[in-house]
Structure 1
């Protein structure tokens, strides 16, 4: 066979050189950074070779264990005896060998398409399944309402709904193949090379507008057949699932490839420095180094629900040392911090930040100490490092901290908080900010610490780093000696809405990119005997993806509104959505549920939702956590589920939901009427909370017994979130004699006090402590935080809830009037009430004047100054025309209609003659107040002709009899109240005469 001149003289193909330059950018810059990088001699292979010679054979080997490429390999007996792993290695080796022979030694163009999820050089595309579906619909010019278009957009739904293969449900790329194969511009494989595909994908990652994305997809569509496009979609989504892991591929490329990738997170470096299998790394190149992102150690999952004793036994005790550490698992982003000396930088130090996926975050958290810079973190942490620290690498978690509540916030808020802090020019003491919690030190002053034990690394961390409160903090741990110490700590983090715990072996070394049993995650779902097992009826189903495609993978469970309702009642079978569960099911469980509910499911129609199911959301549009299909309770099944705790959530109709729900078993012995109702669940929740408090108390008593003997003295022990022992010498006063106090939360404002401290305080003044609410007229309910149980009590609308500051005001006032008999201050709506019943609104307002000054309580200097500041100024030389300012702002597009103080600014309301009914009088007065507070005007008979709204009593049909240039809108009193509740003006037509 004749050879080309390029092959004959072993010189690079000119087109191949151009192709490489196009892919990698400036050649001189690359040569300086990678002086020994390999150069391909010829053009890269066609893109289709990746799936015809690699991906498809790998998938076949997984299914059949006999790939064509391996059939020639036989054992001594002549029989085929390769393991699946060996078969996959042969396929990969063959493709790499072909590349080296026909292209050259630069394998980077191919490997970044083989394992795209590990490619850190290419930015994210910002495209998910639905966005890609819309682009393909546009590219193929099919009607967006056609069955094919719907099948791509709704790719999780079973295929038979769209005359499609059931097997592609949950497989987006597979569903796209079905549609594209009928409309492909090319039937044979295309001519795009791997280099061309990479260059085009680079462009796709850099554009954001849909029109630009459309042009790129059109280019692919014109030059690829349906199968090529399908694999391209998998690459864009970074969901390959080809049957071989990156570890296998890297190991076949070079024996040291995985090691170098673990310490650098750089595929390009792996391919360009390790292109010769005979060249091995020396010791210094296999360890982490400054300013090189590495793959961190990960915590192992608990494989199955088991005892804490078994978990601890896996932490490999040495000799008699069975100590282990307990750390709180943080809900943030894993982050490594690198710091090195750099005289050119402000402060003489340079920083690097990388996430677990090797994304560079120095632009956000900072690259130096410059106090006037725009970093979200480094400008605040100059005092965090000892003067002796020249360079360091830290491993930790970047979390969001709310300074107002002094508590961690969920991970989803991190980037927003960091950008806000970066743009701020001052050290704000309020709002949300990023906080870096450090739990390991891996490099210090040019010394690698990964070969040392965790205990020794922690000592180095403590010596090198000093916590800067709420900026950079060393993550605390508890040194434990028995598995019995795990559950109490897990209960604490669950109560604080945390993710769980991590158990660590202090005798272990740091292992890059490994999940081993030196670190074990413990999540609340593994707790024993916490919370109640709940039997709830299934009311909805969600289709899954992957191996669960085409069938329900999770279910929506509800609570019966009224289980005693009769078939003719409106509430018969009615359910409120409560939680969604998808964990804990086996194949047999899914099969059993499917068998009992076959042909009873209906597709959810958002425009016509079923009357027997209410979802979460606003009353006008309850569509939160909308299932793909729904089922009548009478046709459904009952699931027994368990959870860690209950938390507030507006995603479900109950406004609370289960945290970490897990399926336990199918209750085939129960009918739908036997499932939990709303009232039954609330009783169970209250019981679980009381038992939790009792267990906490017992645990603390047991702990105190184990401590060394203390000074003997008579103490008063108060049960609550924490136990406080204080000297007891009888009550300080009888101020609260005869009152029962139910303290639900800690105090937050104006000072912080624990629940136990508040209970001790009121008891010292003669009160009785109770742990549940009642209808007793002498009960005082106290709260300062909107926890789940507080929200639940508010919804029952049965009790006023008082802020803890009322207790302190009463005690302070009694000391001022020491000679007077004990006197309880009346409640002040704004200062004292956390939740106020509507019926008490007017009564309580009578105890303060129009400026908020209390009649019965002495105010201090600061409060008096605040009252005077807020009082209207009556002697200003020039009046302020608020209406004019509002009109000007509205004219410039700054709508103030959503601000409560301006929402009624254009309303002139005339009220119908008041009814003699007392309740009606109160409702009318409240409506007038709302309109005045919202900037509106109440007109009387003299101004009747200018009225814009005619307000009539609730449910009354009255007509307007006044004169004027325009007929006012007639609305019920309920319109005013609803507008105020929603914080915006609602459409009047929905509230005519009601």
Structure 2
């Protein structure tokens, strides 16, 4: 079969010559610009078959550099033969960036080809197409087919029947064809007729790559960044500013021409600047002339608004360049957000950056993120219904001028001049100018009191960098009990079937992070991180099921090349799906812990689903670097949160005098100096050759007293744990415990040894902290209460053992249940105990039960009903494993209120603000958890408090 090769010269089959001169760097000279003049294409005769052969070569070539050279050669020959307009070909190289929509996945294409080929649906080849993910049967002629690769399976089926022996289609023809397919989207009859024509005019190899283009996944091992970088050195940056492939190709046709610095343009979406979640060690990166801005962190969807005053046209884009103009209004001629904000805009043209939220005018509060879309689609006539509200915090374009290079403080001046607020429709986000850590702490306290998402700290002198995430914008969120301060955006790529009634349903899901150690030019790689099995409602479980329609069995010995998961891990999914069609989910967890069962070497402790993040793709999920930063933050969280707590106390300290700061003489702290041993005489050799590090004493014996006792009895002591044998302390020394190599002994052991003048064997009663090695040694001779298996009991030893035994049976049962949860139910609940990890405070103020019936007014009735609902919630919580209390104490994870009785919530918020916050929810959250048999997202059931109720909290 002799194919029309077209214009590209070949030396051997499937081998192109590489022009080494193309590897020279781009040069910007007048001479080269003259050579590259007239960027108009000749006749559109570029062979599509030739392009398909290049695709084959790229897919089978290893190494990013060689792939780039192949593409560079093709690009050079294109320019030589056809001119410099490469857009038609670029659309086929980067189909996922092309704006045409085909609404076709593998299953629909399989059905269309079955009809176009005239196959019976029960025929062998039709089944091969539909069940392309299953390995071929022993009777199948396609023994070498790539399991799960639909275009390869389709190629085998088509190749047996094709009568097309000559390649006649051009790239121009293919783009016209794709336009027709896009126009016929949703019309199966028209689409089938189009593909009948395809079968009669396109060769099997061409159809294979045509299918890949329609599926928007060439799978040639080249990313959009690497292709754009070869096309032109500025193409990647240009695309980040406009998200328009055609515009990039037209502007950068001349590879030798260096354009002015790329910038944003009106009605062209761009990637917004993002804030980092890393809490800085200091605020030097945020200071400008000693000051920084503090803003409220808004829980909404990032939106950029484009506006032209002359035409009154609006466009609204998400952070991923999704066009939401139809939702919020393209012109102010309908009852939409555009109509309500057009009067606020005084500039000729502008682009505003902000967050879109759902606003409740009755309560004067912003609603949770999940309510935004329903609020935007609500077309009822109720004036008090929840509605979209655009909260603006930046302006990046005004009167035809991009403002990216201007400092933030100047941009805000412009913003306040050209935009006026219309509260509840277009809000201007307020900010405070501050300069100390105390100010940050106060702002975070205020955010907690106002039930806000957190705060953002910004450098007033920072310029706007599209797509960047740097330390000039820093997000800080409150920490919640029983969860890490940050949630995790992960990708779901696998699922496991449940047991019992859920035996044939997926109920647990494998989540991965992205490996950012892989170069941008290479295919992405993902690392297994955790399995989630709780937190989603029955409806959300249905969404998972829908996403897993196209899945295949998981084989640990034949893992896809994009996944890293231990082959012999005990945590393995039953099925797996492609990362390209998967879902991004937001996960919360207690903490990150070490685990060899996962590719990362770590996993999440008690992970729980929060919500789907449909605004994000696999490119936006947590990365390997993010996970390492999370681990570092977790290790320093106690220190950092301690710093914030100490700053609360420091506010009451006096400030330096006007005469200047006091010079402090440097030296060791008193706790580090140890006792003066010059006058101590050794009286015995009890502790001979023994080295101690005494951290603290106890109530009866100070650190100095213990060190003197050690010295008197022949021992030595040091002021650090290194090179010591015994660490003595009456407190849990976290820094030492974290190392896991030192036992921490109570001071009483030193005292008892000296009194008896004998080295008493260590026992649990003498231990403040015990390493695993010592625990194993104890378990061989002593039970868990400290009673020896080998020594006779005495009256004193029995008293000590009895004192160590707990009296509270409920605490013992709960501790056992927690241990079972920790060991065997990391990703799912203990059956029947969905609230096992919950310690709830019931916010109840019951009415007087002895009131005279004639005095029972509506206030009494409302309180009584609230009390009854709270009592029922308390029963549900206890019955399903929760610990319930009616007093404020440590460890509370949830505060339960009734939606009709929330007067005390502001005082409760203030009472909890100095520690990790509990979740504030209504009794509806308990009902939803019981209904869905899992802990559901607390944000959806937070008390909706009017803003004026939160502004001036009273002292509890």
TM-score by structure 2 length?
A: 0.49
User: Higher RCO, 1 or 2 (CA under 8 Å, sep at least 6)?
Assistant: 2
With the length of structure 1 as denominator, give the TM-score of the two structures.
Answer: 0.47
